[in-house]
Amino acid sequence: MPSSPTSAIQPAVQNLLDRSWLALVARVAVALPFLLSGIAKLVDFGGATAEIRGLTGLEPAALFALLVIVTQLGGSALLIAGGCYAWVGAAGLAGFTAMATLLAHAFWLKPAAERFLHQNIFFEHVSIIGGLALLAILSSRSSRGAGL
């Protein structure tokens, strides 16, 4: 009985997936937007405060901007570092993304001209939340065994 085409490449794929550097690259890739955003907000705190105020209307905007920076940088650092607390970083970034998405991209509340844009952003962020949740799950599982 001939083997399937996928069975021939499965060992090579498994070998690649078992590489620790690939897990690090994946964690960096997922954390990168949060890391860059946190650094940009830290460098331009006035702009970060204006962004919070403009997108969400939350006050005191400076306090919320500071919380966003801490969440983005701290969550990114924990996620990138891996190990037993990577799930904390992934879960924190997922929670932050969920709250920010609901506050800033509630497409059902936007004017018709902006609705399509915010709907796309909203569902892109849902995808990011799903990826972060998956990283949290895998990190939690692997912290009990091999590292992710």
Task: Please give the distance of CA 79 from its chain centroid, rounded to a whole number.
Answer: 9
Would you state the structure tokens that stand for residue 12, as one six-digit string?
């090579």
Which residues, 6 or more positions from 63, have their beta carbon under 8 angstroms from its beta carbon? none
Would you state the structure tokens that stand for residue 119, as one six-digit string?
């709907």
Report whether 148 contacts 88 (CB < 8 A).
no
What is the pTM assigned to this prediction?
0.82
Confidence of residue 145 (pLDDT cuts 50, 70, 90): low
**Tens digits of per-residue pLDDT, 89-137?**
999 999 999 999 998 899 999 999 999 999 999 999 999 999 999 988 8
Helix/strand/coil (H/E/C) assignment for every residue in 101-123 = HHHHCCHHHCCHHHHHHHHHHHH
**Tens digits of per-residue pLDDT, 34-67?**
999 999 999 999 999 999 998 888 899 999 999 9
